Structure 1
Amino acid sequence: MQPEIDIYKRQVEKWKQLFYSKVEKNKKCVVMFSMFATYTSLFGNLHEKFKELGWCVINLKSPHCKDAMLDKKAITLEIPFFQNEYFLDSLNLKGIDLIISTNITSKNLISQNAVGLYLSHDAFTGVVPESGYKYLFFATQSAISSMVNEKNNYDCTNRCFIKGGYLKLDATIKSYESVKNNYKETKSILIAPTVKSPQTATEESLAYNVGFDQHLIEFLLEQTSYSIIYRAHPTSLTHPSYDVLKTKFQDNQRVEFSNKSLLEDYARSLCMITDISTTAFTYSLTTLKPSIFFAPGVKVFDPQRRPVEKLGFHAKKTSDILKVIDTIKTNQEAYANKIEKYKKEAIFNIGCSEEYLLENLEYILTHKKHPNWVYT
């Protein structure tokens, strides 16, 4: 056992020296920490913004976080990996001013001294990360309220809830504007289910975990003239059911298992059908097109945590979907106006969340109390 420990210590020490060689002297340093590629879009354009301010920017990610675009934005290092385990607890890196994370993993495992800022994934429901993240950047009042109301279920001690906005959404909207005009006609329906795993095989998402996605595709092919764009959750691409589904429809010209850019799929679709995935929120708030939440197991969605009626429709059976598609088709402008109005009311600092964060950065770095943030 001791030889293995010695090997591990040498590897970690070697990795730390590599890290320190990347830190630029006489510059403030921010580390963007991400374990999964699914969540790297939450950073928005912060890499570029911090570079413009003269900061040293370093990506710290797991070997499983495959994101070529992220790697191009800044110096990228993978977390030390030894015998199939991550060893964050031995790092305690110095010289980092700020860690911005999309993960709940404790900031203190990376650095005790750096200030921790957590970017919440869900726009409408808050999640409190592990120790070290004093500052939590939320998109809506609903997310903050969910934390305040359930503080007994989370470690909310010495936290600050920032009324910041949704960096991912702002960046997506800006990029979408340059893509949408390439697709004048929307003759497709985009299906985007939640992640397939035992953890998501709940009553709410049961439809997409027992083959209902196949049933849904067959139903739409039979009952409508639309083409189907099926976009699996990134972490579900290796799920056995995905290969089965592709094989089932591989010869059908109206079914596409998309690997195009997400924004292209947004632009060429009339609407999105999901089960309970929050990807529908991003879709509707970006495109101003309604989403259909096909969730037979859900009686009523919580309007604060899942504002389905503000952004689309809840379908409990396939016949509901047909009615909704017809309604969307004939009332596109009205729904666009409705979603735009809700977006401006619900999302903090829409269109300028990055600017808001950077303008108020000193409150985070110096722990000065901000008059509009919620402290616990």
Structure 2
Amino acid sequence: MSEDIKLFFYRSARILVHFVRAQKKRIYRKIVCPFLAALPVIAPFLRAQMTERWFHDKAVRFMSKNVFTSEKQQKEFFSSLATEDLLSAQSVFSALGKIQKEKIRNILDPRKKTVALFFASGAYRENTGTIAERLRAKGYNVLILIGEICNDQHERREHVYYGGNDIINGMDFIDVLLEISGTAEKLTRAKRVYFPHDIYDSPLGNVINREGLAKHMAECDYLFLPSRIVLDRCGNMILNARRKFPEFSRKNVCLIPGGYIKLDKNLEYFEQYNQDTKTIIYAPTVSKERMGGMGSVTSLAYGDQIIKALLDNFPDYKIVFRPHPHDLHTALVKTIREQYDDNPRFIFDNNQSSYMKHYAASALLITDMSGTAYTYAFTTLQPVLFFSHDEKETKRRFGEFKYFEDREKIGRVAQTIGEMVHYAKSLLAAQDEWTAKIEQHRNSLIYNIGKAEDYFIDNFEYIAEAKKHPDWVYI
């Protein structure tokens, strides 16, 4: 079956699935909820059960701390909801969102512009450094909005609110939205600034995924980009999206040669906590089940063999298994963890927000196509070993990406478990040579190394006031 036919069926299946899900939600909300609420025998029981369920929901509890001053006030809120609304998550979050919106509006200074950072998931929250605090110090209203409750340090910062379940799209007081993961396409009033989370031009899924990303970038006003390679790739993706979808040609997009804030923070951490310890990290990208069409690249299906080979052939090294945050709770990751948990040299890293503790103590990273490969190399100046179990297919499909073309500028590519062991030994034996090579490559590509956050803060007025910057690229 040709690639075009596969993509046709994949695209059609996605459209059908989205349609069915939307109809199920609509039927549940419009028909099932009112019907159950009208049953005099069942309704009181359902009401009590759903009220208890909402009291224990992580997102509801997080919002309640911001919008209610007491538990009594929270109970009065749920008592005021109709039974059919209690049965619908959309209705509950919509009602809470309206209260939260007014609470936020009341604390904003109307004389100042309002900036919001949006973290749709638990991943990539460190990518904006201390931008929120520094913009607040410059006199802006600044909010942090989250779409997933992770109980991490970012949720303990000042002025953090819940923006998930479509709540963010109702916040019409936002002037500038910084998007790290996720999007808020209905905030037409806000200037949207997108921070790609990869330092290189990672393929980011199949053609459908890349098409969706291109549309997203074409809808934004600014892209804060880490490297020359990413700037070129994003510019081409936006132009291609406009050719295919003329509606995205209605406004300019500004490409900012800004740098990679996460790399700068990594370098600071590494300078302070670098340890010369014998540790090898295995960090695969998202599994093929979640990436659709990326089976020739992703390596998690080989994770068991990879970890076993590392434990067997490198007895003096600790082996850290760091799955992608989106795979943390999958059956495959759970199986691998349970198989090796009793081995004292096996470490399972499930920290979604930060990886630097183990990166700073490691000598080698093994991955497949994860964007963390170049971030790791440019932070630690240690080599990377890419496991490519179907290199021929990988090159055929993704050879145009500099990510794949440049792999051997920071390490080696192994196609079998045996090659992986061989190359790992050779890379560990020549670390000084690789350090010099990687540093030279890094310095030739990345914008504003060590100063990316300063660059953003110093030039933010050009975004807030929509002024043209002489060094930025407008397409």
Which bracket does the TM-score occupy, shorter chain normalised? 0.7 to 0.9
Alignment check: 8 A CA contact 1:37 1:67 kept: no
Alignment check: 8 A CA contact 2:286 2:327 kept: yes
The CA deviation at 1:199 is 3.2
The CA deviation at 1:88 is 4.2
User: Letter of the aligned partner of 1:37 in structure 2?
Assistant: G
Is the alpha carbon distance of 1:349 and 1:27 closer, same or farther for their aligned partners in structure 2, counting shifts above 3 Å? same
In the other structure, the counterpart of 1:276 is: 369
TM-score normalized by the length of structure 1: 0.87
User: Letter of the aligned partner of 2:324 in structure 1?
Assistant: H
CA–CA separation in structure 2 for the residues paired with 1:100 and 1:114: 10
In the other structure, the counterpart of 1:14 is: 99
The CA deviation at 1:132 is 5.0
In the other structure, the counterpart of 1:292 is: 385
In the other structure, the counterpart of 1:188 is: 279
In the other structure, the counterpart of 2:200 is: 124
Q: Which has the higher helix share?
A: 2
In the other structure, the counterpart of 2:296 is: 204
Q: The residue matched to 1:322 in structure 2 has which SS? A: helix
Is the alpha carbon distance of 1:44 and 1:374 closer, same or farther for their aligned partners in structure 2, counting shifts above 3 Å? same
In the other structure, the counterpart of 1:153 is: 241
Q: The residue matched to 1:37 in structure 2 has which SS? A: coil
User: Letter of the aligned partner of 2:261 in structure 1?
Assistant: L
TM-score normalized by the length of structure 2: 0.70
TM-superposition CA deviations, 1:64-107 (whole Å, max 9, x none):
242522123321111264xxxx3444x1422x332111135234
Q: Which has the higher strand share?
A: 1
Is the alpha carbon distance of 1:69 and 1:197 closer, same or farther for their aligned partners in structure 2, counting shifts above 3 Å? farther
Alignment check: 8 A CA contact 1:272 1:291 kept: yes
CA–CA separation in structure 1 for the residues paired with 2:201 and 2:355: 23
CA–CA separation in structure 1 for the residues paired with 2:348 and 2:96: 41
CA–CA separation in structure 1 for the residues paired with 2:271 and 2:432: 17
The CA deviation at 1:148 is 3.0
CA–CA separation in structure 1 for the residues paired with 2:164 and 2:99: 10
In the other structure, the counterpart of 1:71 is: 155
Give the number of equivalent residue pairs: 362
Give the one of 228, 233, 253 matched to 2:319.
228
CA–CA separation in structure 1 for the residues paired with 2:424 and 2:194: 38
The CA deviation at 1:17 is 0.6
CA–CA separation in structure 2 for the residues paired with 1:42 and 1:8: 28
CA–CA separation in structure 2 for the residues paired with 1:316 and 1:102: 33
User: Letter of the aligned partner of 1:79 in structure 2?
Assistant: G
Alignment check: 8 A CA contact 2:116 2:178 kept: yes
User: Letter of the aligned partner of 1:112 in structure 2?
Assistant: T
User: Letter of the aligned partner of 1:77 in structure 2?
Assistant: Y
- Structure 2 unaligned blocks of 5 or more: 1-29, 35-81, 203-212, 243-247
Q: Please tell me the root mean square deviation across aligned C-alpha atoms, in Å.
A: 2.5
Question: More deviation in 152-161 or 49-58?
Answer: 152-161
TM-superposition CA deviations, 1:341-373 (whole Å, max 9, x none):
111110111110111112222221222222222
The CA deviation at 1:12 is 3.7
User: Letter of the aligned partner of 1:45 in structure 2?
Assistant: T
Alignment check: 8 A CA contact 2:194 2:217 kept: no
Percent pairwise identity: 27
Alignment check: 8 A CA contact 1:106 1:133 kept: no
CA–CA separation in structure 1 for the residues paired with 2:467 and 2:113: 18
CA–CA separation in structure 2 for the residues paired with 1:221 and 1:305: 28
Q: The residue matched to 1:21 in structure 2 has which SS? A: helix
In the other structure, the counterpart of 1:32 is: 117
Q: The residue matched to 2:181 in structure 1 has which SS? A: coil
CA–CA separation in structure 1 for the residues paired with 2:320 and 2:256: 37
CA–CA separation in structure 2 for the residues paired with 1:290 and 1:77: 40
Give the one of 167, 172, 177 matched to 1:93.
172
Is the alpha carbon distance of 1:159 and 1:104 closer, same or farther for their aligned partners in structure 2, counting shifts above 3 Å? farther
- Structure 1 unaligned blocks of 5 or more: none
In the other structure, the counterpart of 1:177 is: 271
Alignment check: 8 A CA contact 2:226 2:257 kept: yes
Is the alpha carbon distance of 1:340 and 1:79 closer, same or farther for their aligned partners in structure 2, counting shifts above 3 Å? same
The CA deviation at 1:149 is 2.9
In the other structure, the counterpart of 2:50 is: none
Give the one of 355, 360, 374 matched to 2:459.
360
Alignment check: 8 A CA contact 1:104 1:130 kept: no
TM-superposition CA deviations, 1:216-269 (whole Å, max 9, x none):
111122223232111122222211112211221122222221357622211222
CA–CA separation in structure 1 for the residues paired with 2:156 and 2:241: 39
User: Letter of the aligned partner of 2:158 in structure 1?
Assistant: A
Alignment check: 8 A CA contact 1:192 1:232 kept: yes
Does residue 341 of structure 1 match 2:440?
A: yes
Does residue 371 of structure 1 match 2:470?
A: yes
